[in-house]
Amino acid sequence: MDLINTAAIVTGGASGLGAAVVRALAGRGAQVYALDLPEAISDIPAGIDIHYLAVNVTNVDEVRSAVAKAAAGAPLRTVVNCAGILPTMRILGRKGVHDPDVFEKVIQVNLMGSFNVLTAAADAISKTQPDDHGQRGVVINTASIAAFEGQIGQVAYASSKAAIVGMTLPAARDLAQYGIRVNSIAPGIVETPMMATVSDEIRQTLAANVTFPQRLARPDEFAHLALSIIENDYINGETIRMDGALRMSPQ
């Protein structure tokens, strides 16, 4: 799928994986609408091809308004959902039973946020003219290898990401009649701002557990994979692991 003169939406677009995808899509000629929380985008200047919109992905009205803005000009073709949170809490811990409010918030942001953007964007994309092959667009959601090997304390996070994996194929089947593909990427341990708070010793230990290459993944590698999925029209209904053959241990 050609990205030139099309619109794209990236959630969590202010930093980490989302920011890398924003740069990659703009570099391929797309008009990119980067959605993130107000405090995340307050100091980021907009560019010619990059527009930052303050959106909480759990708010359906905010999501729909942002999608309408993105779809108002060039045809909306691409959506990459990167917004997410990663609190940890054991089912039974030193402070008691897992807080159901924490579990619900993780599901709301990671799963419902992706679903809200997926549905609103699919509606807008379905109204565009298809290309010569009947294709209108592609949605990429961000899962995690925690969907398959969730660690101790990750019951909420792993559940939300496993649901992203489970949503991928039926969503692709639902939207096939509109020429919209749906895929997911399940990254391993990526060098994001969150990792900047971790000590060098812990980072080295994490890297040593990766089969090959023995290092943390880079956000630009995630973005490169997203571009590959977007440009390969035959990748549909798939969850692709990007983890250096890492299989997570219990902790």
Query: What single letter denotes the amino acid at residue 79?
Result: V
Element (H, E) at 22: helix 16-27
Mark whether 157 is an active-site residue. yes
Beta bridge partners of 96: 93
Identified catalytic residue from 33, 52, 157, 178:
157
**Residues recorded for the chain:** 251
Q: Is 12 left (phi over 0), alpha (psi -120 to 50) or beta?
A: left
The Cα-based distances of 200 to 188, 197, 216, 243 in angstroms read 18, 9, 12, 20
The Cα-based distances of 180 to 7, 42, 250 in angstroms read 15, 33, 37
Rounded to whole angstroms, the Cα distance separating 209 from 189 reads 10
- Which of the residues are catalytic? 157
